[in-house]
Structure 1
Amino acid sequence: MKRIKKNSIFLLLCLLLSPLSAQAAESVVRVNGDRLTLNAQNEELSKILGSLSEQGIRIRIDPRINPKITAAFNNRPIGAAMAGILRSVDYALIWKKDKSSTANEPRLREIRIFYKGQEALVRPLKKGANLTVVNNGDGTYFVKDILLLRLAPTITEETLAALLDQLGAAIIDAYAPLGIVRLRLPHGSDVQAITETIASTPGVQTAEPDYAYPLEGGSPAIGGTGASLPPPVDSPKNGNTIIAVLDSGLLSDYKASPFVQSAYDAVSPGAEVGDELGHGTQMTLIAAGAVNPLGAGSITPAGSPVVAIRAFDDNGFTSTYTLMRGIDYAIENGSRVLSLSWGSETSSTLLASAVRYAAAKGLILVAAAGNAPTGNPVYPAAYDNVIGVGALDPNGDTWDQSNYGDFVAVSAPGMADLPVGYKGDPGTYAGTSIATAYIARRVAAILNQNPDADRATILRILGKGK
């Protein structure tokens, strides 16, 4: 996530509040800029590092190293903190200039831990990579024991401290661009009830559960060969507009492909990106130009470099805060198009804010209208500043399972013969997700020719079939 300016009240709150006493039964691990707060009693190092990883720091460690740590300190320089808890092993802190900082200050990106002279043995930290999702019983889902708050700039330290004390909560992360903090509540908390209780608290602009959204990929269709090997693909030739694909990740077989700009795990930051579901790999291939949908015609837009972001876990769920991480990574890595091949009827005020923020940063967002013809709005496709995409069959007619409504701005071929399956074998798949990835590629082609084109201009060009 982006680092906050040092003189920001938001940073001050994150540094000074969420006291160690708020969660006496659980370890507290919090990094802010170049400082670390830790309260751990006989805790395995891997768990502490896992908490740091959740805050966006990549962890690489020799798997043999996992001592139990007992320590308690507040806001200590991270170099001194690591030296204090890692007395028998070596470590390295990797810093990177933070583009979001007005002073271009460095930000901690990676921690490596190893025995002296054996740094080559470090591996990505193994940790849980799935969200703990609760079914609310009304068609909505949320992440267990997590609450998101958007704070007013005028909130006082005393107000937030009192609120944290009242909830027994701790700040575990913060999304600076929108003033959002992520709180961990005590185990088994009634997140919905707490949300309603504190919604009118002075200084709290928005309170929401960390809503979760299921991935509903395309359905297998009749016909098609579905070759099981990666197709040969050249590097994109028509410009360098980058498409960020927020989906289920990318299979390792494709990571070295010339069209893959980078990959990032927004569910479990710091982990190596994989794709247990296959859907993210499917969408990457289409967005990049490695696969063309059936019925797209012989003249199709050239491919584009892709940033593959794992935003959905192995169970097929993402969350509002996970998507914010993914959006942030897309912006930081120069993406101009955001491809969202999924949708949910759950609307989130905070996710809508993140979408507006992404659009304000110059991203063109495209999202799937849904694979059920209900006419109900599906989000994020139905948010302002997003291009909602429906699907066509290979004959150019509306696919019979494509959703419809005023929020559907454009339709595109939605069937493709894919070398990777979604929860199954390779073959021909159909869905608005395929149409979305293809439209993302077309948008990138437009931006290659006209980098200043806005959403309205792009829709006009898409409507002309260019």
Structure 2
Amino acid sequence: MRGGLGLRRWLCGGLLWGLCFGAGASLQLQGDRASLKVTEQTLVSVLELFEAYGVEVVLDPTLEMERVSGNWQRIEVDRLVEQLAHPHDYVVGWRRLNTPLGALDQVSRIVIMGEGALDDEPVSKRKRRTLDVVQAEDGSHHIRGEILVGFEEGSTIAELKELLRAVNGTVLEVIDPPGLYRIRVSDEMSVEEALAKARLSRGVSEAEPNRAFSNDDLPVVSLSGTPSGVNLNLPAGERAIAVFDSGIDPVYQNLPFMLTAYNAIDPGAAVDDPTGHGTLVSMIAAGAVVPEGRPPNEESVRVLPVALFDANGWTSSEALFSAINYALDQGVRDFNWSFGTDDRIPFFEEAIHQAVDRGARIYISSGNEGAEGSVYPASSPLTISIGSEGPDGVAPWSNYGDDVDAYYPGKVYFNGKWYYGTSFSAPLAAYLNELRD
């Protein structure tokens, strides 16, 4: 297609808006309509707003583009892209998103090109995806501009569209099971306001922020170029454990008992391990590293390393739920998690329930506060809470109590250093129980 109107001419009134509202940019996408407010921004910056809605954007890097200013309200997406691309060629691609409530047609791809061959790479190709985390007034954290919504049985696509109109939102993803809609809401609406509107909408059973969680409390593990204290010659077993953690270092990814690692934050992207914690946990889950007090292992269990956290140490409800489905779809039924929170989260419980119904066993470290009671979701009756034990009983760092299901050694020597914590006990429990099956 060719752009039909000159961008500069079309924006004569828009420049006045920019003077009134100041610098910045905001975008709302809803079906085939878009609203865009922008003042003196590069085209790349404007197109990155579309990427926040899950749209793949490809821009010819050889193009010379002027800065963009304007105010478009409820304009057709195709026509908006036509204005932004002028005088260059462009393509707008669409997808049909099939949801449990019915189908939605949404823009999926925008290409702006000059003459000749186009390097088919997204605008943000050189960026590692990180989560845009904000802190709420109550101290909790969530992903900016995103909510998760569940619908009652018997709800309709009309009720979903009614909700999207109420929050000026777009469905980014459907996580099924448990049948949750991840929705990007208007930049001009707070998550709290969007949740209030969602909970009053017809057919909605529950709505939550897309919560964010940090791995700051997990110990940093030092990795060297040459593994030490590791048995690399164990024969690979048939069963597998999915380790949800910080990832796995590339040095360890090609071991015979390691399955192809999965990036839950940026599916399809390469996996590394900025903290080293996930690497050590994966090696314990495989049987290649043995905590203190245990004899050497004679066989390994295959491990699916899942990088659940971004480079800044954050993950989200959506990343966790999607990773559960990915691992289950790969045929993995045993899981090891090394994170927790103080608060019970209803959507977490529903996702765990759905996973357990599909045959999952989820081992989670009880916590390292030396306090009574496991952190959540180790405290859930649907999961297996694992504490640490020492020579004289429960280790001093380990959480303990009636909701802790078992205790295993949690002190381990790896690459010339000692580490301890319940996050090293849980993968041992998963490994040993996998061998018993």
**Whole-angstrom distance in 2 between the partners of 1:66 and 1:265:** 33
Partner of 1:111: none
1:380–1:431 CA distance, 2 compared to 1 (3 A): same
* Matched residue type, 1:443: N
Change (3 A) 1:207 1:220: closer
Q: How many residues align?
A: 374
Query: Which of 249, 263, 266 lines up with 1:268 in the alignment?
Result: 266
Query: Structure 1 residue aligned with 2:237, among 225, 236, 239?
Result: 239
Contact 1:336/1:444, CA 8 A, preserved across alignment: no
Unaligned runs of 5+ in 1: 1-23, 31-36, 75-83, 88-100, 102-114, 420-425, 451-466
Counterpart of 2:280 (choices 279, 282, 296) is: 282
Return the offset for 1:247.
0.9
Per-residue deviation, 1:237:
3.0
Secondary structure of 2:177's counterpart equals helix
Could you say if the C-alpha distance between residues 368 and 180 of structure 1 is closer, same or farther in structure 2, counting changes exceeding 3 Å? same
Partner of 2:316: 319
TM-score for both structures, normalised by structure 1: 0.68
Deviation of 1:274 (Å): 1.6
Q: Is the CA contact (8 Å cut-off) linking 1:235 and 1:259 kept in structure 2?
A: no
Contact 2:386/2:425 (<8 A) preserved: yes
Aligned pairs for 1:37-436 within 5 A: 44=44, 47=48, 72=77, 85=90, 125-187=125-187, 189-219=189-219, 229-231=226-228, 233-234=231-232, 236-237=234-235, 239-298=237-296, 300=297, 302-393=299-390, 395=391, 397-419=393-415, 427-436=417-426
Matches of 1:436 and 1:28, distance apart in 2: 43
How far residue 348 of structure 1 moved from its aligned partner, in angstroms, is 1.2
**Structure-2 residue corresponding to 1:107:** none
Aligned-residue offset at 1:325: 1.3
User: Partner letter of residue 256 of structure 2?
Assistant: P
- Residue 245 of structure 2 aligns with an amino acid whose one-letter code is D
Partners of 1:159 and 1:277 in 2: CA distance = 44
Q: Does the 8 Å contact 1:387/1:409 carry over to 2?
A: yes
Does the C-alpha gap of structure 1 residues 169 and 417 become closer, same or farther in structure 2, counting only changes over 3 Å? same
- 1:439 aligns to 2:429 (yes or no): yes
Letter of the structure 1 residue corresponding to residue 303 of structure 2: V
For 1:66 and 1:38, how far apart are their aligned partners in 2? 26
Letter of the structure 2 residue corresponding to residue 350 of structure 1: F
Q: CA deviation at 1:400?
A: 0.5
Q: 1:133 to 1:218 in 2, by over 3 A?
A: closer
CA separation of 1:144 and 1:356: change in aligned 2, threshold 3 A: same
Measure, in 2, the Cα distance between the counterparts of 1:179 and 1:85: 35
SS at the partner of 1:158?
helix
**Distance (Å, rounded) in 2 between the aligned partners of 1:347 and 1:66:** 51
Cα distance change, pair 66–134 in 1 and its aligned pair in 2 (3 A): farther
CA contact (8 A) 1:267 1:322 kept: yes
Asked whether the equivalents of residues 368 and 435 of structure 1 are also in contact (C-alpha less than 8 Å), the reply is yes
Amino acid corresponding to residue 72 of structure 1 in structure 2: V
Q: Which residue of 2 aligns with 1:26?
A: 27
> How many angstroms does 1:129 deviate by?
2.1
Q: Which has the higher contact order (CA 8 A, sep 6+)?
A: 1
Q: Give 1:401 deviation, angstroms.
A: 1.2
* Closer/same/farther in 2, CA of residues 28 and 220 from structure 1, 3 Å limit: closer
- 1:259 and 1:347 map into 2 onto residues whose CA distance is 34
Q: Tell me if the contact between 1:415 and 1:429 (Cα under 8 Å) persists in the aligned partners.
A: yes
Distance in 2 of aligned mates of 1:301 and 1:360? 32
Please tell me the residue identity of whatever aligns with 2:395.
Answer: W
What is the distance in 2 between the residues matched to 1:226 and 1:172? Answer: 37
Q: C-alpha distance in 2, partners of 1:155/1:39?
A: 26
% identical aligned pairs: 25
Equivalents in 1 of 2:389, 2:166: separation in Å? 53
Q: Secondary structure at 1:261's aligned position in 2?
A: coil
Q: Which whole-Å CA distance do the structure 2 matches of 1:297 and 1:436 have between them?
A: 17
Q: Which amino acid aligns with 1:432?
A: T
Deviation of the 1:65 alpha carbon: 8.2
Q: Could you tell me how far 1:276 is from its partner in structure 2? A: 1.3
Letter in 1 for 2:242: A
Structure 2: segments with no counterpart, 5+ residues: 1-24, 37-41, 69-75, 80-88, 93-99, 101-115
Residue 244 of structure 2 aligns to a residue whose secondary structure is strand
Q: Deviations over 1:202-221 (max 9, x none)?
A: 31111111112222555489
**Deviations 1:362-394, CA, capped at 9 Å, x for gaps:** 12110011110232441121123210010123x
Query: Higher Cα Rg: structure 1 or 2?
Result: 2
Cα 1:242–1:135 shift into 2, 3 Å: same
TM-score in terms of structure 2 length: 0.73
Per the alignment, in what secondary structure is the counterpart of residue 178 of structure 1?
coil
